[in-house]
Amino acid sequence: MTTTEIAAARRREVIPEATVARLPLYLRALHTLADEGTSTISSEALAEAAGVNSAKLRKDLSHLGSYGTRGVGYDVAHLITSISHELGLSRRCSVVLVGVGNLGRALAGYGGFASRGLAIDALLDADPALTGEQIAGLTVRHIDDLPEVVVPGSIGVIATPASAAQLVCDLLVGAGVTSILNFAPTVLSVPADVDLRKVDLSIELQILSFHEHRKSLVTPA
């Protein structure tokens, strides 16, 4: 890290969580725009492409300290660099996936991560029958090898059954992982310094089910 970057990090205020969650959205829209040859874009147009309010977009970008030009808009290439750097995607980010079942295989074979600086670097499973198998160019290793594949900054992904999730989570934390994405439908407990996010498909469907149910109540068949 250069001294310039350190200074920039100090100067920069803390970025609101809600903003962080939208930066990847902007980044995707910007990549699309760049591919189309667009070099400059207004907050209005970019907000439209990202599906958000333009004032919100401007406020979000202002947190980055990346300045647009009044009367013109934002420089697409500069914004991509700026957001990528802020998200830590400039230097490739290592991802360790635990649980190579139905979901794990789909994730391992997915190309959408690598294209944005994220790459799955290791596949782990407790099933001896799976270790050694080649999936998407990676060799499945035994869960006991976890400490060997974790490097500082690694992100852990849990795709095991719910019953094994807390155990695997503890192993990850023990190996030094401080950022975990959990697909198992369980509440996991982690130390305060570990970031834990979850993706729960059942919950998403149940939320939709709720609204569908509500619609059927106000509009009785």
Ligand X SMILES: NC(=O)c1ccc[n+]([C@@H]2O[C@H](COP(=O)([O-])OP(=O)(O)OC[C@H]3O[C@@H](n4cnc5c(N)ncnc54)[C@H](O)[C@@H]3O)[C@@H](O)[C@H]2O)c1
Partner DNA sequence: ACGCGCTTGTGAACGCGCGCACAAAGTCAG
Partner DNA sequence: CTGACTTTGTGCGCGCGTTCACAAGCGCGT
CA-wise closest residue to 160 among 146, 175, 139 = 146
Q: Is residue 174 part of the contact set for ligand X (CB under 6 A)?
A: no
Residues 86-115: x where in contact with ligand X by CB under 6 A, - otherwise, as a string: ------------xxxxxxx-xx--x-x---
Q: With respect to ligand X, which residue has the nearer C-beta, 86 or 125? A: 125
Q: Is residue 125 part of the contact set for a copy of itself (CB under 8 A)?
A: no
Q: Is residue 184 part of the contact set for ligand X (CB under 6 A)?
A: yes
Task: Tell me the closest approach of the beta carbon of residue 151 to a copy of itself, in angstroms.
Answer: 11
Structure-token pair, residue 117: 């600086």
- Of the listed pieces 14-22, 44-52, 56-64, 161-169, which binds ligand X according to CB under 6 A? 161-169
The full 3-state SS of the chain, as one line of letters, equals: CCHHHHHHHHHCCCCCHHHHHHHHHHHHHHHHHHHCCCCEECHHHHHHHHCCCHHHHHHHHHHCCCCCECCCEEEHHHHHHHHHHHHCCCCCEEEEEECCCHHHHHHHCCCCCHHHCEEEEEEEECCCCCCCCEECCEEEEEHHHHHHHCCCCCEEEECCCHHHHHHHHHHHHHCCCCEEEECCCCCCCCCCCCEEEECCHHHHHHHHHHHHHHHHHHCCC
Residue 208 interacts with, from a copy of itself, ligand X, DNA, none (CB under 5-8 Å by kind)? a copy of itself
Q: Is residue 55 part of the contact set for a copy of itself (CB under 8 A)?
A: no
Q: Is residue 168 part of the contact set for ligand X (CB under 6 A)?
A: yes
Q: Return the residue of 65, 109, 147, 176 that touches a copy of itself, per CB under 8 A.
A: 109
Q: With respect to a copy of itself, which residue has the nearer C-beta, 11 or 70? A: 11
Given the structure tokens 């994405």, which residue do they identify?
181
Residue 51 interacts with, from DNA, ligand X, a copy of itself, none (CB under 5-8 Å by kind)? a copy of itself
Q: Return the residue of 80, 89, 162, 194 that touches ligand X, per CB under 6 A.
A: 162
- Of the listed pieces 56-64, 70-78, 111-119, 138-146, which binds a copy of itself according to CB under 8 A? 111-119
Instruction: Please say whether the beta carbons of 122 and 100 come within 8 A.
Output: no
Q: Return the residue of 16, 53, 72, 88 that touches a copy of itself, per CB under 8 A.
A: 88
Q: Is residue 179 part of the contact set for a copy of itself (CB under 8 A)?
A: yes
Q: How far apart are the first and last CA of the chain?
A: 63
Q: Is residue 67 part of the contact set for a copy of itself (CB under 8 A)?
A: no
